[in-house]
Amino acid sequence: MPDTRVPAYPMKRACPFDPPPELGRIRAEDSVTRVRLWDGSHPWLITGYDDQRAVLRDRRFSADVRRPGYPHVTAASRARRRRSRSFISMDEPEHGKYRRMLTSTFMIKRVEALRPRIQKIVDELIDTMLAGTPPADLVSAFALPVPSLVICELLGVPYADHDLFQRCSRTMVSTRSTAEEAVAAGDELKEYLVRLLDRKADEPADDLLSRLVVEQAETMTRSQLADMAVLLLVAGHETTANMIALGTLTLLQHPDQLAELREGDPELIKSAVEELLRYLNIVHSGRRRVATEDVEVGGRLIKAGEGVIVATDAGNRDESAFPDPDVLDLHRDARHHVAFGYGIHQCLGQPLARVELQVVYGTLYRRVPTLRLAVPLEEVRFKHDMLVYGVHELPVSW
């Protein structure tokens, strides 16, 4: 029976730039506590930074979405993630086997080599935007195409098909989608990628999907490869796109810090990326796990089979880890944030996301110093109904 005295989760943001205020209150009282989900279950919610890292590095917590007790975000994500499993929902040793196939591609050194190409993509998109008449929607003109073009080139997915994969990913990450819609979107994207992988097997090119389809011909089925490709395509662009758009909106609210950033000090640009990741928490639905054994966390006993939600948005605003956590300070050393998760599932694409954001934050405001919001802030529509937080559109002028 759902216990209505237990707070419902997720809570809604009151301010678009801050986590829901209830999360801070809960953390101050008790870092390990129960919440109530859409299906009436009562998983544990972990809000304190230290307890979060303890859970995420503990192998006794499983990411396997098929296990009973796993705290699903919605009925739709339960249906979709059970149907197509990729390594984000696997435990060791299976998880490591698949993740290792990709680690060389996402190594810092390899990703740094892409920086000039990413710079060119960013510059060209800015040229095109500036050639038009303001206002423009920063999301469709810039924030979405940057990561989309980058991940397409890396994987070897034709960007001309971006309508299809952007539409499918949006349905997959929307909390308003029905189970049927989410499954259909996942299937459509997977079928598209299976066809693409078939073509690459016949005519391999110099890209990640070609390499995988050739190297893993004996070890992975086409369907498993397509599940991996779906993960890379979806994880790689909604997230970065929202960091670009919401990051820009945040900086426009902090003109002094934006002016400093515009001066182009590479060290400040790097720390700005980390601080905005910490501050904005765009992946705001919590890292979800289920205990496989009884485990004590923060003085509480979490029993085998119980679900756990690690609210990294609360952890990134925990003052024991970040002094004055609710203040945006681009000079802060925020590198130990948990915006990319922590432990074995920590974001594989983080070196790529970092370079993309460094290039964007280091270029856009310098090249368009008069960039401003073209509508009142109250008219901006925020993504409260998406697994990845951000803005739907961002009308800007210059």
The residues that touch ligand HEM, with contacts defined as CB under 6 A, are 63, 87-88, 99, 151, 231-232, 235-236, 239-240, 243, 282-283, 287, 339-341, 345, 347-349, 352-353
Minimum Å gap between C-beta 366 and ligand HEM is: 21
By Cβ distance, which residue is nearest to ligand HEM?
349
Residues in contact with 113: Cβ distance below 8 Å, sequence separation at least 6, in sequence order: none
Number of residues that make up the chain: 398
Rank residues 63 and 256 by Cβ distance to ligand HEM and give the closer one.
63
Rank residues 27 and 99 by Cβ distance to ligand HEM and give the closer one.
99
Cβ density class 125-158: b for 16+ within 10 Å, e for less:
bbeebeeeeeebbbbebbbbbbbbbbbbbbbbbe
Minimum Å gap between C-beta 241 and ligand HEM is: 9
Minimum Å gap between C-beta 1 and ligand HEM is: 29
Minimum Å gap between C-beta 151 and ligand HEM is: 6
Contact yes or no for 36/3 (Cβ under 8 A) = yes
Strands of the sheet with 136-137, listed across from one edge: 136-137, 395-397, 372-373
Minimum Å gap between C-beta 237 and ligand HEM is: 7
Q: Other C-beta atoms within 10 Å of 12: how many?
A: 8
Q: Please name which of 253, 58, 271 lies closest in space to residue 261, comparing C-alpha atoms.
A: 271
Q: What letter represents residue 132's amino acid?
A: G
Rank residues 5 and 330 by Cβ distance to ligand HEM and give the closer one.
330
3-class DSSP state for residue 346?
coil
Minimum Å gap between C-beta 129 and ligand HEM is: 21
Phi-psi region at 220: left, alpha or beta (left = phi > 0; alpha = psi -120 to 50): beta
Contact yes or no for 349/236 (Cβ under 8 A) = yes
Rank residues 268 and 347 by Cβ distance to ligand HEM and give the closer one.
347
Rank residues 2 and 158 by Cβ distance to ligand HEM and give the closer one.
158
Tell me how far the alpha carbon of residue 300 is from its chain's centroid: 29
Residue 300, token pair as written in the block: 């509480």
Rank residues 133 and 286 by Cβ distance to ligand HEM and give the closer one.
286
